[in-house]
Amino acid sequence: MFSRKQSGTTTIISADRVPAMASMDLWTGLLRYELWWIFAAHDIKQRFRRSTLGPIWLTLTMGIMVGALGFVFSQLFKQDMTEFLPYLAVGIIFWGLLTSTISEGCTAFIVGESYIRNVPMPISVHFYRVFARNIIIWAHNMVIYLLVIIVFPPHFSWHMLLFLPGFLLFLINLAWMGLVVGILSTRFRDIPQVVTNLLQVVFFVTPIFWSATILPDRTAFIQFNIFYHLLELVRSPLLGHIPPLQSWAIGITMALAGFPLAIWLYRRAYARIPYWV
C-alpha cells in the first residue's frame, strides 16, 4: 500500500495524468509479482484446504477427463489412441487455460472490489492474479501431457522447441483478451454471461476433441476461428509438428492489434474502475 516511492520524490495526481497513471498501473502492477503470485497461490491453496490430496486433484481431474474422453472418442471416431490421446490431452489442457483465463478475467476486477476501493495498490494486480492462478493450474495439468507422451510417444523432433514462441504468443493473446473482457465486464455486468456462452459455442466448433483432419476440406469455422489458430500454435509443436504459417500470422496480428486495444481501453476506463466495481 505504500506507493513505493522514496520520500523526496513527488507524486502528482490530476485528471489529465490519469491515462499516464493507468499505463504506470499496468507496469507497477506487473512488478508487484510477489503480491499477485501469493494471491494466486493462496487461491489454489484455499480451494483445496482440508482436502487430503490438495492440488493433486487438479492433475487427477484432468487425467480422468482426458482418459474418459480419449476412450469414448477414439471408439466413436475409430481413431488410433496413439495419435488421438496426445492430441486430445494437449487440446483440452490448453483450451482449459484459455477459457478459464478469459472467463475468470471477466470477474478479475469485480471480485477484487474491496481491495480496489480500499487498498492503494495497482488495480492491475487483480488481473495478474487471475493470470497467475491459471498458469499454476495449467502447470498441474501439464503433468498429464507428460504422462501421455511417455505412454504414447509422439514423433520427437526439434519442432517441439517451437512450443516456446508459440506459447508466448498464446499467452500474450490471452492477456489482452482477459484484460479487455475484465474491463468491459466491470462496466456491463452482462458481459461475463455473454463470454461464457460464446466460449461454450467456440468449444464445439474448434477441433479439440475432434481433429481438423477428419473434415474433407477445412471449413470456414476452422479457417477463420482465431481460437483454433491460437491452439495450433501450442498444440502442433507439442505433438512434434510445425504450426501452420497461417496460425503464426493470425496469432501475431491479433497480438499486435489486441495489445494496444487493451491498453487504450485500460487508460480510458482506469479512473472509473473503482466506481464500477
Partner 1 sequence: MAHISIRNLTVEFKVYGSNARSLKKQLLSQATGGRIASNANDAVTVKALDNVSLEINHGDRIGLTGHNGSGKTTLLRTLAGIYKPTGGTIAIEGSVGALLDPASGMDAEATGVENIYLRGFILGMTRSEIDSKVDEIARFTELGKFLELPVKTYSAGMFSRLGFAISTAIQPDILLVDEGIGAGDASFRENVIARTQEFVSKANIAIFASHDHAFLQDMGASLISLEHGNIVEDLRT
Question: Considering the rule CB under 8 A, would residue 9 count as an interface residue with partner 1?
Answer: yes
CB of 189 to partner 1, least distance (A): 6
Nearer to partner 1, 64 or 119 (CB): 119
**Total of residues contacting partner 1 (CB under 8 A):** 43
Is-contact 133 44, C-beta < 8 A? yes
- The secondary element (H helix, E strand) that includes residue 162 is none
d(CA 270, CA 253): 26
Single out the residue of 62, 92, 191, 262 in contact with partner 1 (rule: CB under 8 A).
191
Among residue numbers 31 through 70, which ones bind partner 1 (CB under 8 A)?
34-35, 38, 42, 46, 49
CB of 229 to partner 1, least distance (A): 28
Question: Considering the rule CB under 8 A, would residue 216 count as an interface residue with partner 1?
Answer: no
CB of 102 to partner 1, least distance (A): 17
d(CA 132, CA 128): 6
d(CA 8, CA 1): 18
Q: Identify residue 161 by its one-letter amino acid code.
A: L
Question: Considering the rule CB under 8 A, would residue 1 count as an interface residue with partner 1?
Answer: yes
Helix axes 245-269, 226-238, angle to 10 degrees: 120
Question: Phi, psi at residue 87, to the nearest 5°?
Answer: -60, -50
Which positions touch partner 1 (CB under 8 A)?
Answer: 1-15, 18, 21, 34-35, 38, 42, 46, 49, 114-121, 187-191, 194, 270-272, 274-276
